[in-house]
Each structure stands twice: as C-alpha cells, then as structure tokens.
Amino acid sequence: MAPSAVAGAAPDSWAIATAETIMKRNPGTPADRLARWSYWKGYTLYGFEMLWRSTGDQRYWDFIKRQMDPFVDEKGNLTADVRLNSLDNIMAGNLMVALYEHTRDERYRAAATQIRKAFDTYPRNSDGGFWHNPRLTGEMWIDGVFMGQMFLIRYGKSIGDREYCFDEATRQIAIFARHGLKGESGLYYHAWAEQPEKTRWADPKTGLSSEVWSEGLGWYALILAETLAVLPPDHGRRPEVVDIFQRLAGGLKRTQDPKTGRWFQVVDKGDQPDNWTDTSGSAMFTYAIQRGIELGLLKPSDYAAVVDKGYHGIIAKAKIDGDGLVDIYDACDGLGVQENYGRYINYKKTVNAKEAVAGFLWATAIVEKPVLEKSRKR
C-alpha cells in the first residue's frame, strides 16, 4: 500500500504516512534519531510490527530488522551499545523477542535472554517494586511499569520463564496501582517514592508526585492492555489487572475533552484555563481503549465513540509538510517527574516529540486496522 501524503491534505492512511515518514527521516545513518538503543526505538518499532501484520508490507518488517541487527553480533551477544541500566533501556528488548518469534534465529533468543537476566539483580523497593533506574533510589515511575513489563510479557510468552515473567509483570502493575491511584478516579499519579524525604518531587506524607500526567498514564494504559492480550485466562492476577484496566478506562472516558476528543496534559484538571490537550497521551489512550474493545474487555456501546473522538482529535494535530511528511504537534519530549502542576503545564512543547510520533503510529494503526487489512498484500 503506497503512501499518499500531499502537503496540506489528509493521507489515505495516517498510519502508513507516519511509518513512511519515520523511514525517510531515519535512512540508516549514525545521526538518525532512531539510531541508538532506546525506549523510543522499541516503542516505534512495535508500531511498525503492528502495521506489518495488518498490511503485509515486507518493508516494515525489513525496517525493524535493519534497526535492531546492529545491536546483536553473530554469536547472539548484545553489543556494547546496549546498556541495560534502566527500565527505559529494557523496552527495546521486546523487539529482540519479536525477531526470534518471526525468524527462529537463535541469535535473537540468546540476546533476549541476556536482557531477561538484567531483572535478576535489578534494584527494588521493599515491596518488590522496581526502581525506575538504579540512580533513582526508591522511585517507582509509571513509565517504567510499561518499559520493563513490555519485555517480560513477550519473553514469557515466546521464549521461557513463563511463570516468572507473567507473575512479575502483574506484580509490578499491582504494586503501582496500590501506591499510585488517585482516590476513586481510576487514574494514577506519575510516580511514587518509598523515601519521600529524599525525593524532591514527592509529597512528604504520601510519597506521590503532584499530578496525573497524560503521557505517563498513557504508558500504564498501554501495558495494561498489552498484558491482558497475552495473560492466560487462569492467571491468578488476571481479574485484578482487568479491574484496574476497566476502572482506568472509565476514568479516561470521564476526562476526555468533549470539544477536541483529546485528553489534557494534566488529565483530571481540564477545567484549568492554562491546561492544554496533549497529543502523545491522547494517542496512547485511544490505542488502549480500542485494544480493550478488541479484547472484549470494554463494550463498544460504551467506548467506540471515545475511540472515534480520540482518533479524530489526534489527527487534527498532524500536518503534512511540504515534502509530504507527517509532523505531529502539541506534545512534550522526554518529560520526567515534575514538582508541581505549573511545571507540567509549562514544559516546552516540541514538534515531532519522539514519544508522540510513536504513540500516533500505534493509535492510527489500530483504528485504521480494518481498512489496512482489506488492502493487505497477498
């Protein structure tokens, strides 16, 4: 399926136009944004895998392989460029498992197993929750629940240590849910610190960060949906994860901006005049809710309209430039835990924030899937 992006016009498929844009902007040079091992590499390439499955276009799979092969040698050893020193840096390992699934090349299995072993000595809080990275003593970020568990659930499904991987993934989800829930809203704060007295952003009594941040909550929505897609029906924690997901979906439905279809940077404070709608988190929520519908966890009668509004909300923040490439507006790039509402709201917006581009690809790929599958290459 060829792209049809013309400056100023909507493409036939936003997912395809976005993938084509990413490939053109990352032609394979050391200066490419996707060149180094990173969470956004894994996040972006997972979107390419979805698109490859829907369209059958081999170029998308070839792009994944071309992006990942420099990080594993002929014996299956990870190269020195791969540093497994944070949950963020574990995320891309998901695609090593994907490469093994689709090629059965033992190099990828060996590489993925090295990543799996990083969890054996990874630092934890007293209740077992993973630190976001070893330098952030006692800090559990909602982002990290996604980053680490996206690897574990796929490794357990396709390579081994199935019981450990599923138990650990659901354990991390449950630990954050216990600490991070905001009242009865179904929504979750950005982070929690076991030692708030040593953490600048933490409430001294609760250890919680100040706000419910859109993109952070989006990471959590994604890992809930993706975990439930592979978690066995008889797993002991499945009902708990389903409940967390369904309550979160309800909270998202209540906080969606009725005017734009998007969600606010601080999700539950849309009534504040300086708040603004964030394209990145909005794309994540759109994907997660549609995924929940696909999995039979959310009723289409309750949530199909939420997805439709979300989809149209995010494509309203996409434009085709003079070269026929997609630009994504109104999102932040690399935002960490902030100390207060003002810092979240005033954090600099960036055109083509890396997380927003990947999230936009995920959301458009799942919403457009029926049309993409009809045009699948045979």
Residue 169 token pair = 């993934």
Catalytic option among 69, 105, 127, 143: 143
Helix (H) or strand (E) holding 327: strand 326-328
DSSP per residue over 207-242, as a string? -B-S--BHHHHHHHHHHHHHHHHHS-TT-TTHHHHH
- Give yes or no: 69 in active site: no
Tokens 């460029």 — which residue? 81
Name the phi and psi angles at 327, rounded to 5.
-115, 135
Determine the Cα–Cα distance for residues 208 and 189; give it in Å rounded to an integer.
Answer: 7
**What sign results for the dihedral spanned by CA atoms 311, 314, 317, 323?**
negative
Determine the Cα–Cα distance for residues 284 and 248; give it in Å rounded to an integer.
Answer: 13
Helix (H) or strand (E) holding 192: strand 191-193
Q: Strand 139-141 to strand 263-264: parallel, antiparallel, or no bridges (unpaired)? A: unpaired
Tokens 């998007």 — which residue? 262
Decide if 91 contacts 355 (C-beta within 8 A).
Answer: no
Determine the Cα–Cα distance for residues 81 and 93; give it in Å rounded to an integer.
Answer: 13
Catalytic residues: 143
